[in-house]
Homo-oligomer: A and B are copies of this chain.
Amino acid sequence: MGTAAAGDDDRMALLRFVERFALVLREAGMAPMPARVFAYALADDADRYTAGELARGLDVSPAAISGAVRQLVQFGLLVREREPGTRSDLYVLDDRDLWSRFMAAELATLQRFEDAVTGGVDLLGLDRPGGRRLAETRDFMAFLRAEIDGAVRRWPAERDRLAAGRRPASTG
């Protein structure tokens, strides 16, 4: 019986973490249910889930899962797969370059930011204080976007470097 109780504790601890993680994702603009599903898929051990597994794992209604996975698939964080001879879609979180793809979406947001500000610069011109402030804002956004883009491109190499540093014996 001790084993079962420990398993329940583990699961509760996992769900608490999922809520904590999801809260941060929500602050970053993600909707509540997609945030939960994503956090759960990332933290639990499986690498592919049916909609039903997600619903039971998070203890929410299948209807809530439906909308959440659609948004996550559209966002590119989850991929829908279909095993022949089964009637359930499988949702897989392909962790290969997951965060690079995530950041690509963030960079698009930054681009929209930049576009909006550029419209303001065109409207006001550089002769007025407001226009000059907006121009500096636009320049900063462009600079930041280029820097983040570069960092995201460098990440795969950096990740491999970190992994090599942590497994110094596996060089051959």
Give chain A's interface residues, CB within 8 Å of chain B.
13-14, 17, 20-21, 23-24, 27-29, 42-47, 93, 95, 98-99, 103, 109, 112-113, 116-117, 119-120, 123-124, 128-130, 133-134, 136-137, 139-140, 143-144, 147-148, 150-152, 154-155, 158-159, 162
Contact = CB atoms under 8 A, between A and B. Distances in A.
A136 B100 CA distance: 12
Contact of A120 (B29, B43, B151): B43
A103 B144 contact: yes
The 10 closest A-B pairs by CB, nearest first: A147-B151, A43-B130, A99-B140, A17-B120, A45-B129, A24-B116, A24-B113, A45-B130, A21-B116, A20-B116
A20 B137 contact: no
Contact of A155 (B21, B140, B159): B140
For this chain, the copies found in one complex come to 2
B155 A43 contact: no
Contact of A42 (B17, B98, B134): B134
A89 B117 CA distance: 28
Contacts of A144: 103, 148, 151-152, 155
Contacts of A154: 147
Given A123-B17, A133-B95, A147-B147, A139 B112 contact: no
Contacts of A159: 136, 139-140, 143
Nearest to A131: B43
A139 B162 contact: yes
A166 to B, nearest CB: 9
